Chains A and B, each alone.
Chain A
Amino acid sequence: MRITAEEKEATRQRIEAAALELFRTRGFEATTTRDIAKAAQIATGTLFNYFVAKETIVAALAEEGLAKAHATVEKQPAAETLEESLFTLVAAELRQLRPLRKFITPVLETALCPLASATQNGEASLRVRHLETVARIARAHGVAENSPVAWQVYWSLYSGVLAHWAADKSPKQEDTLALLDNSLHMFAAWLQDAAAEPL
């Protein structure tokens, strides 16, 4: 029996939804792949055709969340300053990732690593896609920065913010908002300085 692409996609989404629900109610650690398969009404073996591990499901959910965030942000009119536009982007990402926050750390560890490869299964990695979006936003604000230093600085700040967020114990992760605000302010100021007096 041939399975159509739509059917495949539907199954995939069912697995993701079931997994997310279980992670949330039962906890990430306590949930097994068998539980997920059962909840998604498929055989455990079938599940492995889609995802090799629980972490892969989280990674997929994160990817989708991020793509959604990017799409919303790109539809919005640009903010007044580069700093604010970047804030909008990252804040939208965090909002999308919020349901995954408690179990996203391992995924972030791989994805945020500066050594992570630029491509994954032939697709651009999360890092590359995020940085491309950032570069587009920067260009819209008249900043044509593409030195590797700038992106390294940005990426360090960005990963710092995400790592902080994943473990943030402050009410509604408000400390992360402050950290993000400060980090982006620093980055934008640094970019502008760098533009004014090239290294």
Chain B
Amino acid sequence: MATVTELIAALPEEDLAIGSPSAKEISDVLSRASQQPVPVGRFRRLTALGTLQAKIGAAYLFHWLRGFFKSADENKRLLAETHWKTALRMLDSMTYLRGAVMKVGQTLATFPDIAPPEFVETLQKLHFDAPPMHWSLLKEMVNNELCDDPESVFASFDKQAFAAASLGQVHGATLKSGEEVAVKIQYPGIARAVESDFRNLTLFLLPARLTKDWESTKDQFADLSRRLALEADYELEAANLRKAAALFHEEDGIVIPRVYPQWSTARVLTMERLPGIHLREYLDTHPSQEERTEVGRKILRAWYRMMYAGKMFYVDVHPGNLLMMEGGRLGVLDFGFIMPIEGEEGELFRKMDRALTTGRIEDRLAANKEWCNLRDDETDRINLHEQYADWCWRPRYCGGVFDFGNETDFREGIRLFTEMFRRRYSRARPNTPAIARCQFAWRSMLYQLKAKINIRDIAEEEVKATGWDRSEYAE
């Protein structure tokens, strides 16, 4: 039976080597906290899925909590230790860890150079392993949602899931009318369960409010619960899918799966099944520079089209959500985390777009300051944000063909991004971490593709198609 100690012991070394107290102290705390074995239950199931998930779960928590120790004095540290133990014990009992853990796994999977390669390998594979909702449970869910057994609703239904989703699993099926579909089914009540687990965890961490890093921890919780709320609602996802699908045409070579509303509910999403392979398999086929660049162009076009024409900010950019299809087409999946660009956020986006387009440093500073609530006297923070924003946006405002495969440039991005993570996004809007991550994520995919693209051209084409007049930028 796995104990927390074992889980922690299996963490990557460098994770334990940062900041005070010493790695030894931390692992002592952890081992003392974990005298009790992890209860049999979900953890075993997690083990079946590969203990890595559990490890990452622990690592993630660890990552959050480690922050307390940096600034705390002795007393606070003791207090934090106590709460840490409690938190760990809670982690033990989080039976629904799976969803949250997978989420984290994906986030990490978009940082190919931060995590050790085999770590990322396994994480990317997590998307493809059949997760553990057994057939009987599945049948109950389908019955609850679609009022009949899967065998009766569909012409055929694969008992084995072909992919794991963050909150459930995806099964192949055929409609009675003959269409091949992907049916995404959510684990019952999982979103609420994770949400309440994390709420409880936050309660135990209250003393941490005194520390500097609390804001960021809170941000991450806020970020997670926001994602959960959005992602748990498959009806919302279906609406987003339909909205996005209307933005693309045959000649774009970008495909959004069609939704079958008769067989979709808040917990079950039935959509057209796109045949294709994921990024890693695609790269294994050794596509030419031209082909890789074309994929990159499509990724960007899809993203910009949704942003400018659809006013949809597609946040969840990661390799699992893209499919390379026959004839060079690109399939875009997973519309669970879309931020509508409207209202106050719409205003901010316009400011960001101005900065992106003009490349003027004063526009960039203004956009950053407003977006992240930075004060004028926070020079360090302002500088860091400015550097990261410049790294993100340079290929766009400079125009010309940018070599996204440039390793030095990518490493610089990693450095800045990690630094941002380390210093946290205090006082940022709740979705700032998600947006920063998203910017990084597509850069990371373009890096893996070693694409060479003029992204300004694509963006300008997309803006032009909407008829948006931006002549004021010239002022």
Contact surface of A with B, Cβ cutoff 8 Å: 79-81, 83-85, 87-88, 91, 95, 170-172, 174-175, 177-178, 181-182, 185-186, 189-190, 193
Contacts and interface: CB of A to CB of B under 8 A. Distances in A.
Given A174-B188, A175-B188, 15 more contacts: A79-B134, A87-B136, A91-B137, A91-B140, A170-B189, A171-B266, A172-B145, A174-B141, A177-B137, A178-B189, A181-B188, A185-B44, A186-B39, A186-B40, A189-B40
Contact of A178 (B45, B135, B144, B188): B188
Interface residues of B, number: 26
Interface of B: 39-42, 44-45, 95-96, 133-137, 140-141, 143-145, 187-190, 192-193, 266-267
Contacts of B42: 182, 185
Nearest to A190: B40
B40 A178 contact: no
B9 to A, nearest CB: 23
A95 B187 CA distance: 18
Contact of A177 (B95, B141, B192): B141
Contact of A170 (B95, B135, B192): B192
Contacts of A81: 134
A189 B134 CA distance: 15
Contact of B136 (A79, A178, A185, A189): A79
A193 B135 contact: no
B140 A84 contact: no
Contacts of B136: 79, 84-85, 87-88, 91
A81 B44 CA distance: 15
Nearest first, the 10 A-B pairs at minimum CB distance are A174-B188, A177-B188, A175-B189, A88-B136, A172-B144, A87-B136, A84-B134, A178-B188, A189-B40, A174-B189
B215 to A, nearest CB: 33
A79 B189 contact: no
Nearest to A186: B41
Contacts, number: 64
Nearest to B40: A189
Contacts of A95: 143
A178 B140 contact: no
A45 to B, nearest CB: 42
Looking at chain A's contact residues, is the secondary structure mostly helix, strand, loop, or mixed? Answer: helix
Nearest to B145: A172
A185 B144 contact: no
B187 A87 contact: no
Contacts of A175: 188-189, 192-193
Contacts of B140: 91, 177
Contacts of A84: 134-137
Contact of B41 (A80, A174, A182): A182
A181 B41 contact: no
Contacts of A85: 136
B40 A193 contact: yes
Nearest to A189: B40
20 contacts: A79-B134, A79-B135, A84-B135, A88-B136, A91-B136, A95-B143, A172-B145, A174-B189, A174-B267, A175-B193, A178-B96, A178-B187, A178-B193, A181-B133, A182-B42, A182-B95, A185-B41, A186-B41, A189-B40, A189-B41
Among B42, B95, B140, the one with the most A-chain Cβ atoms within 10 Å of its Cβ is B140
Given A172-B144, A175-B189, A181 B40 contact: no
A188 B145 CA distance: 27
Among A95, A170, A189, the one with the most B-chain Cβ atoms within 10 Å of its Cβ is A189
Contacts of A87: 134, 136-137
Nearest to B134: A84
Given A91-B140, A177-B141, A83 B189 contact: no
